[in-house]
Structures are given as C-alpha cells and as structure tokens.
C-alpha cells in the first residue's frame, strides 16, 4: 500500500505571555492510501493542532512548529512555503470542520459556491463546473440536487450543510481529507449518516481520511486505525480492533468505559475520568496521565514511558507494559 502521509516526531508550541505551551510533543504516525485514521482525545490533547499543522492552518505566530517532519509524498510540509501550501491545500489535502456555516457564504447559492470551488481547481467552463457541482451533490447524497443548487446555506439542515462541505472538499479530488470533529454539532442519527458517507467516499475514491474526534464511539465502525492522544502525545495507537477490543493504555480503557453501551445509557450519567489533563505550559517529565491514572507507580512520575508494542503495529506508552513491571493490582498502585 502507498503511504500518503508520514508525520515524524512533530513538536508544535504556542508562545503565550505566560510562556511556551507545548501543545504537540513528539507525535508520529503514518497513513496509507485509502485508509481511515481516527485521532481521538479530549479537548486540549493536541489533536486539532496536529490536524491544522498538516494543513499549516494554525495562526502563526503564536503557533510554532518546533521540530519534526510532515511528509506528503516528496514534500515536507514543515519546510513548505506559503505559496507551496496554497497549492497543497485544496489540491492534495482538504479539510472539513465542525461548523460548516463558518466556511459557507450565507449570501451565495450553494451551487454557485461549489461551482467557484471547482473552477478554482479545474479548468472547466461554467456549464461544466455546474454539472460537476450537481454530480458532487449526488455523491454526498443530497436529494433533489438540481433544485438544491439554487438554495442558500440557511435552507439546508445541519447535516445537509456538512454534506455540502464534504462535496466542496471533494471538488479537488484530494489524496487526503481531514475532518475535524465533523459531526460534533449534529445529532446521533445524522452523525452515523455522515460517518457512513465518509466510508462510502473512501470505498469509491480511495481517499485517505483523518477524522479528529473527542468521541471514540463515533469512529468505532469506520476507522481502520485509531491514535489516542493525551497531553500532546499519542499514548496508544493500533487497529480499530486493537483499540476497541484489546486496549492497553489505562487512558484508552478509561475512554472506552466512559462510552454509552446502549442507546438507553445515553440518558444516564456516564462514567467520566476524574481529574484534569496536564498543564502543557509546564508539561510533566513523566507519563502525562500519571495524575489521573489508577495504576500510577513510582517510575511513572519522573520517567516518560516509551512506546511498548503489545501487538503487531499496536503501540502504547505505559510502564505497565514493561516486561519487569509488577502485577498492576491496586496493592502495588498508589492511585487506587
Ligand atoms: Fe502512565 Fe504509569 Fe498509568 Fe501507565 S501506569 S498510564 S505509565 S501513570
Ligand atoms: Mg478541536
């Protein structure tokens, strides 16, 4: 399989009055053609910053890529000029966001916006681009596309607007589509439909997709691979099967425990993870999860756990996986 993206030891910081906030601290992952990767984590884990850095969309400054590589084919995005980035954005890589309204022009018919986006990337006449717009609306399963092109964004529901955004993102036939919390503002049924649509797009076009989400449940049926971020780091990564059925990191386990098991549970109070994420202005020297983990050991606080490999292509950064680690039962743990 062809590798579409390779991120190596990426560090990204924000310079603030209080000092340097180390938002992304040594993130590495790769993505093959036609693969769907979910990057999951709480807010402040560094997942969105990672995604925006791939597009170089972070406001710079105060955001600063400290070190690392982001290889998209032969190009290292870290070193790419703004001019090169303009060619990459929307040609090779497209992005969709949580709130489509921020990207759609409320005063312009949807078809016109799509046609303009298409003509920006392809040398097509107005008529050809218009036909292409209708074709894209069909691909994202917007019914009555011929009438819908004449409507304005406010005439679309939230889910339909997100479909328009996906059509817009597909207009340049990107190699990589990044979706940052694409369904967070939508209700559960619509969420599932949008995920299904992304899967269909992958099947039909072989586009690689990164989905950024705080909700592990949303990506359960769609992701091939999952990377769990915490405190600016990927603490566990593996196939969906590894993460959902054989999680190794206590944080991943806690995230899974906090998911509703059935639709009934959604009304109940879910188990939440006690405590707060680490302060990335003064990131801990050791495991970022040590303050909230129920297995915290002496070694966890001063020493950062390396990546252990509980399985093939399955990585987790937790001292419990060290071969000499004692049995992690509460008697030997101080977190209780
Ligand atoms: Fe981190 Fe230690 Fe808990 Fe593992 S056991 S998650 S290394 S605090
Ligand atoms: Mg975010």
Supply the pLDDT for residue 122: 85
Residue 261's pLDDT band (boundaries 50, 70, 90)?
A: confident
Ligand nearest to the Cα of 301, by number: 1
**3-state DSSP assignment of residue 300:** helix
Distance (Å, whole) CA 267 – CA 48: 28
Compute φ and ψ for 258, nearest 5 degrees. Answer: -85, 0
* Centre of ligand 2 from the C-alpha of residue 160, in Å: 21
Compute the distance from residue 292 Cα to the ligand 1 centre, in Å.
9
% residues pLDDT > 70 (the chain):
94
- Residues forming CATH 3.40.50.300 domain(s) in the chain: 3-92+174-332
C-beta 318 within 6 A of ligand 1 = yes
Mean pLDDT in residue range 191-220:
93
pLDDT at residue 290, rounded to an integer: 96
Mean pLDDT of 151-168: 92
**Any atom of ligand 1 within 6 Å of the Cβ of 68:** no
Ligand 1 geometric centre to CA of 304 (Å): 9
pLDDT at 186: 85
Query: For the domain bounded by 3-92+174-332, which CATH number is listed?
Result: 3.40.50.300
Q: What average pLDDT does the segment 76-83 reach?
A: 94
Query: Alpha-carbon distance 180 to 323, whole Å?
Result: 37
**Which one of the ligands is nearest to 307 CA?**
1
Ligand 1: residue whose CA is nearest its atom 8: 290
- Would the CA dihedral through 259, 236, 54, 207 be positive or negative? negative
How far is residue 289's CA from residue 295's CA, in Å, rounded to a whole number? 10
What local confidence, expressed as pLDDT, does residue 153 receive?
Answer: 94
Checking if the pLDDT of 263 tops 80, the result is: no
Question: Token pair of 75, please?
Answer: 């190009």
Residue nearest to atom 4 of ligand 1 (CA): 318
pTM: 0.92
In the predicted model, is pLDDT for residue 336 greater than 50? Answer: no
């Amino acid at each position: 399989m062809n590798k579409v993206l390779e991120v190596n030891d990426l560090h990204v910081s924000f310079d603030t009055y209080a000092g340097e906030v180390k938002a992304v601290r040594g993130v590495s992952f790769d993505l093959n053609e036609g693969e769907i990767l979910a990057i999951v984590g709480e807010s402040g884990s560094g997942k969105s910053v990672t995604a925006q850095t791939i597009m170089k969309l972070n406001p710079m400054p105060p955001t600063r890529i400290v070190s690392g590589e982001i290889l998209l084919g032969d190009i290292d995005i870290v070193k790419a000029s703004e001019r090169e980035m303009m060619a990459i954005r929307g040609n090779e890589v497209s992005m969709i966001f949580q709130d489509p309204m921020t990207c759609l022009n409320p005063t312009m018919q949807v078809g016109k916006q799509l046609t303009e986006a298409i003509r920006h990337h392809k040398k097509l006449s107005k008529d050809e681009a218009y036909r292409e717009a209708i074709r894209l609306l069909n691909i994202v399963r917007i019914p009555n596309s011929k009438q819908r092109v004449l409507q304005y964004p406010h005439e679309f529901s939230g889910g339909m607007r997100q479909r328009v955004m996906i059509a817009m993102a597909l207009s340049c036939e990107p190699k990589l589509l990044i979706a940052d919390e694409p369904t967070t503002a939508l209700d559960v049924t619509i969420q599932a439909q949008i995920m299904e649509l992304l899967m269909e797009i992958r099947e039909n076009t072989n586009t690689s997709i990164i989905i950024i989400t705080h909700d592990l449940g949303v990506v359960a049926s769609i992701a091939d691979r999952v990377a769990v971020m915490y405190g600016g780091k990927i603490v566990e990564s593996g196939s969906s099967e590894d993460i959902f059925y054989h999680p190794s990191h206590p944080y991943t386990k806690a995230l899974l425990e906090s998911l509703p098991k059935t639709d009934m549970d959604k009304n109940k109070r879910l188990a939440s993870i006690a405590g707060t994420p680490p302060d990335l202005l003064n990131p801990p020297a050791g495991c970022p999860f040590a303050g909230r983990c129920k297995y915290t050991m002496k070694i966890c606080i001063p020493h950062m756990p390396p990546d252990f490999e509980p399985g093939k292509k399955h990585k987790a950064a937790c001292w419990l996986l060290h071969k000499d680690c004692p049995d992690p039962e509460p008697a030997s743990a101080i977190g209780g």
